[in-house]
Structure 1
Amino acid sequence: MCEIFCFNSDKPKQINQCLECFYNHSEDHPHGWGLATMQSDEFVIDKEPVKASCSEHLKNILSNPVVGKNVFAHIRLATMGEIISPNCHPFIEADDNNRSWMLIHNGTIFNYPKLDKYKDKETGDTDSERILLYIIDEVNKFEKAKGGLSTIKERFNLLSELISDLSKNNKLNLMIYDGDLTYIHSNMRKTLYYLKNEDGFMVASTPLNDDEGWKEVEMNKLFGLIDGQIVFESEEHENEFIFTEEHLKYMEDHLKSLHGE
């Protein structure tokens, strides 16, 4: 599938070393890379449909300090969608109140009919982009019914419900950012870890160094982070994803189709 990474802190920090370690995993995730940082309240996004270790563009980025309070990264192993730039993460989209949302995803949606209508609306052809479009539609509906902007807590509660439902029979390791809150969710064992220290809060698909402080992200819950702290935690749902031979065959068949086999 993919690997995902985020850094969340109360002040900008340089994180080149962690990013270099993360992107070194691209041999097993060769179908694209992405990087998103916040600068002056806007996302700066770079991504390419090439292996991270082969990207001169990424090499140039990492040759300079990468500094930020909110930084997200992704390396892709395609389980749905072609190997093209529009299918690389992160995905970004604005809601009706001009709030920018970003999403990166490690997993696969095997069955969720509510996403089907977004196949004609998305830029690429991934289930991950459809998740973001669906979430934004639901936020728009909520704010229209309210007649005004949602609070941070209202958005967290709404996404808790949506992600709990989306996670049924689907692998849904997600990182989402709405300009205020970073959302973290995992529903598969030993696929997402976090490290909290004086620099901030770091989350990654696998530990990125030998620090003994890395811990597994608690499954089946949504967490909300601000300034390196967990400020919201949802109730636990029951939708743990367990990988089966059927899932493996699904992925293998898709990879063969990408290579024309």
Structure 2
Amino acid sequence: MCEIFCFNSNTPKQINECLQCFYNHSEEHPHGWGLATMQSDEFVIDKEPVKATCSQHLKDILSHPVVGKNVFAHIRLATVGEIISPNCHPFIEADDNNRSWMLIHNGTIFDFPNLDKYRDKENGDTDSERILLYIIDKINEFEQAKGAPSTIKERFSILTEIVSELSKNNKLNLMIYDGDLTYIHSNMRGTLYYLKNEEGFLVASTPLTDDENWKEVELNKLFGLIDGNIIFESAEHDNEFIQTAEHEKVLEEFLKTLKDENND
């Protein structure tokens, strides 16, 4: 599957060292890379459908300081969708009140038919992009009924309900940013860790430094971060994902199709 990373802080910090360590994991996640930073309240997104360690564009980016309060990164091991740029994370979409949402995902949606209607609307063909489109629809429905933009607390409540639904029978490690709040969720053991220090809040699929204070993200809860601190924490749902032989077979079959295509 994929690996995901985010940095959340109250002041802009340079994080090249962590990013370099993160992207070095791309030997096992060779199907694309992505990077999102916030600059002047706008996302700056770079991504390519190539192995991160082979990307000259990424080398050029990391040769200069990468500085930000909110930074997100992704390396892809494809489980759904072709190896093309529109399928690389992060994904970004605006709601009806022109709020931009960004999402990166580590996992696979095996069972959630409500996402199927977005196959004709998405730019690529991944379950991850469909998750974002589903979230946008739910936010729009709420705000239309309210007749006003949602508050931060209201958005966290909406996302809590969505994550609880989506996580049943699916691996759902998510990082989402709505311009105010960074949302973090994991429902599979040993697949997401965090480090809180004086620099800010780091979250990654595997610890990126030798610091002994890395801890596993608590399972089956949604967390909301602002300025390097947890502002919201949801109740725990019951949908821990445990990968079975059947799941592994589905993923292996998909990876085999990618290898066959590359050999044609």
Q: Which residue number in structure 1 is paired with residue 146 of structure 2?
A: 146
Note the 1:31-110 alignment, pairs <5 A: 31-110=31-110
Whole-Å Cα distance in 2 between the matches of residues 260 and 212 of structure 1?
42
Following superposition of structure 1 onto structure 2, how do residues 166-245 of structure 1 map, counting pairs within 5 Å? 166-245=166-245
Q: Identical aligned pairs, as a percentage?
A: 82
What SS is found at the alignment partner of 2:155?
helix
* 1:5 maps to 2:2: no
Q: Quote how far apart the aligned CAs of 1:86 are.
A: 0.2
Letter in 2 for 1:170: N
Secondary structure class of the residue paired with 1:175? strand
Relative to the length of structure 1, the TM-score reads 0.99
Per the alignment, in what secondary structure is the counterpart of residue 11 of structure 1? strand
Q: Which residue of structure 1 lines up, in the alignment, with residue 131 of structure 2?
A: 131
Quote the offset at 1:259 in angstroms. 2.1
SS at match of 1:180: coil
In structure 2, what residue type is equivalent to 1:75?
I
Q: SS of the residue aligned with 2:119?
A: helix
Q: In structure 1, how many angstroms separate the alpha carbons of the residues matched to 2:203 and 2:227?
A: 14
1:104 is paired with a residue whose SS is strand
SS at match of 2:201: strand
Shift of 1:139: 0.1
Tell me the TM-score normalised to structure 2 length. 0.98
Tell me the CA shift for residue 257 of structure 1: 1.0
Structure 1 residue ranges, 4+ long, deviating more than 3 angstroms after superposition: none
CA distance in 2, matches of 1:260, 1:53: 23
Counterpart of 2:6 in 1: which secondary structure? strand
2:223 maps to amino acid: F
How many residue pairs align between the two structures?
261
- The letter of the residue matching 2:185 is H
Which runs of 5 or more structure 2 residues have no equivalent in the other structure? none
RMSD: 0.5
Q: Distance in 2 between matches of 1:103 and 1:257?
A: 26
More divergent stretch after superposition (244-253 vs 224-233): 244-253
Secondary structure of 1:47's partner?
Answer: strand
2:27 corresponding residue in structure 1 = 27
Shift, 1:147, TM fit:
0.3
